[in-house]
């Protein structure tokens, strides 16, 4: 019964988690036209990565003030807690919000407040990963790291890189990641999702990450899989997202189990749940069924996520104790 397994999520984009009902309500409130955005399965309509990014932008456009972001974070973190999650990190990208005229203080402040309210109501612990959008270019991502270094925030504990992986080589972000690391932030980068094993190697070699967003296409290179295992690199795997975006035909054909059996430290994540008709709970349940993972194996995966979480040691120990008690 995966419902009873304590869960943790390291890889989810906060606007990508926006519940369609909330998006409809805010669009009406702000007078925004969302014609054609919704599909008939309770999610968002798109058909390839470019149209996915376009739909993502339209969903993001309905969040216009601090209270909208509070409502978004509160909705997602309470839904995670209802599925048994004890910890979650979300990617937040102020550059997306800035393009709609939202001040970074309102963006960060609203999300922080929503997570704090969900924590108080449910006990789930939440952190935020400040995330650069790769296709906006290295200069904007660097400015974000500089902002983070100058404006420490207790809930922003990580720095990440998302967006279109096929644009701008990882080495163009090396200085930026050094700034983030020096500022004391945990670091992670999307790699090996839209691009192949070389992209994963570049993230390790140029950015110095110990956690990789996806990284799944490392499976195409056995020497790289061995390196990931040897170096204890943690992969933020998102099987439902990979299947939806056409990397693998179905969950049974996803390399989750092969990576795990090769000794790679793997975690389970939903990425952009309503876009992929999934949720964290569903990812755990579907993987358990398709890859023969019992509750002990799933709990061990949650433990890996907590061990790799961007939190202070006291919080990590508290979360591990909650796992032990479960």
Considering only residues 201 to 260 of the shown chain, the ones binding ligand ADE according to CB under 6 A are 241
Choose the contact partner of 264 out of ligand ADE, Zn ion, none; CB within 5 to 8 A by kind: none
Interacting residue with ligand ADE among 86, 272, 280, 293 (CB under 6 A): 272
Considering only residues 12 to 71 of the shown chain, the ones binding ligand ADE according to CB under 6 A are 13, 16, 56
Of all residues in the shown chain, the one whose CB is closest to ligand ADE is 162
Of 305 and 323, which CB lies nearer to ligand ADE in the complex structure?
305
Of 112 and 165, which CB lies nearer to Zn ion in the complex structure?
165
Q: Which of 5, 211, 70 is nearest to 200 (CA)?
A: 211
Choose the contact partner of 163 out of ligand ADE, Zn ion, none; CB within 5 to 8 A by kind: ligand ADE
Is 163 one of the binding residues for ligand ADE (CB under 6 A)? yes
Binding site for Zn ion (CB under 5 A): 271
Q: Which of 177, 140, 138 is nearest to 159 (CA)?
A: 177
Is 283 one of the binding residues for ligand ADE (CB under 6 A)? no
Contact 132, 161 (CB under 8 A): yes
Is 6 one of the binding residues for ligand ADE (CB under 6 A)? no
User: 87: which strand partners?
Assistant: 8, 125
Of 162 and 293, which CB lies nearer to ligand ADE in the complex structure?
162
3-state helix, strand, coil split of the chain in percent (to 5) is 55, 15, 30
Shortest spacing between CB 162 and ligand ADE, in angstroms = 4
What would the x/- binding string for ligand ADE be over residues 185 to 204, using CB under 6 A?
-----x--x-----------
Shortest spacing between CB 279 and ligand ADE, in angstroms = 15
193 noted as active-site residue: yes
Q: Give Cα 156 distance to the centre of its chain.
A: 14
Helix axes 295-308, 280-290, angle to 10 degrees: 130
Shortest spacing between CB 52 and ligand ADE, in angstroms = 7
| Catalytic-role residue among 15, 193, 236, 283 | 193
CA-CA distance, 288 to 14, in Å (whole number)? 25
| Cβ count near 171 (within 10 Å) | 12
Q: Which of 236, 237, 239, 271 is nearest to 252 (CA)?
A: 239
| Cβ count near 27 (within 10 Å) | 17
Q: Which of 156, 162, 144, 262 is nearest to 212 (CA)?
A: 162
Six-digit token string for 9? 């999520």
Of 15 and 84, which CB lies nearer to ligand ADE in the complex structure?
15
Contact 9, 305 (CB under 8 A): yes
Of 86 and 162, which CB lies nearer to ligand ADE in the complex structure?
162
Shortest spacing between CB 114 and Zn ion, in angstroms = 20
Q: Which residues are catalytic?
A: 193
């Amino acid at each position: 019964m995966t419902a009873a397994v304590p869960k943790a999520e390291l890889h989810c984009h906060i606007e990508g988690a926006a519940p369609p009902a909330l998006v409809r309500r805010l669009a009406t409130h702000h007078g925004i036209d969302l014609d054609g955005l919704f599909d008939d399965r309770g999610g968002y309509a798109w058909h390839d990565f470019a149209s996915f990014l376009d739909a993502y932008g339209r969903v993001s456009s309905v969040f216009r003030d601090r209270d909208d972001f509070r409502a978004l974070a509160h909705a997602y973190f309470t839904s995670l807690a209802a599925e048994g999650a004890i910890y979650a990190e979300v990617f937040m990208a102020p550059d997306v919000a800035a393009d709609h005229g939202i001040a970074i203080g309102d963006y960060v402040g609203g999300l922080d407040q929503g997570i704090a309210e969900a924590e108080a109501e449910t006990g789930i612990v939440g952190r935020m990963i400040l995330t650069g959008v790769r296709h906006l270019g290295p200069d904007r991502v660097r400015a974000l790291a500089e902002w983070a270094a100058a404006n420490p925030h207790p809930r922003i504990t990580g720095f990440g890189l998302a967006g279109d992986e096929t644009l701008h080589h990882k080495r163009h972000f090396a200085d930026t990641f050094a700034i983030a690391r020096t500022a004391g932030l945990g670091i992670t980068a999307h790699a090996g999702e839209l691009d192949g094993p070389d992209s994963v190697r570049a993230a390790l070699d140029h950015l110095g990450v110990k956690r990789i967003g996806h990284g799944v296409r490392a499976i195409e290179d056995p020497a790289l899989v061995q390196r990931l295992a040897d170096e204890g690199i943690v992969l933020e795997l998102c099987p439902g997202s990979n299947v939806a975006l056409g990397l693998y035909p179905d969950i049974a054909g996803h390399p989750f189990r092969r990576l795990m059996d090769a000794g790679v430290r793997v975690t389970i994540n939903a990425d952009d749940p309503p876009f992929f008709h999934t949720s964290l709970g569903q990812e755990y349940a579907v993987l358990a069924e398709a890859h023969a993972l019992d509750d002990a194996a799933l709990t061990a995966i949650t433990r890996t996520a907590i061990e790799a979480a961007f939190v202070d040691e006291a919080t990590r120990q508290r979360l591990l104790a909650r796992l032990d008690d479960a």
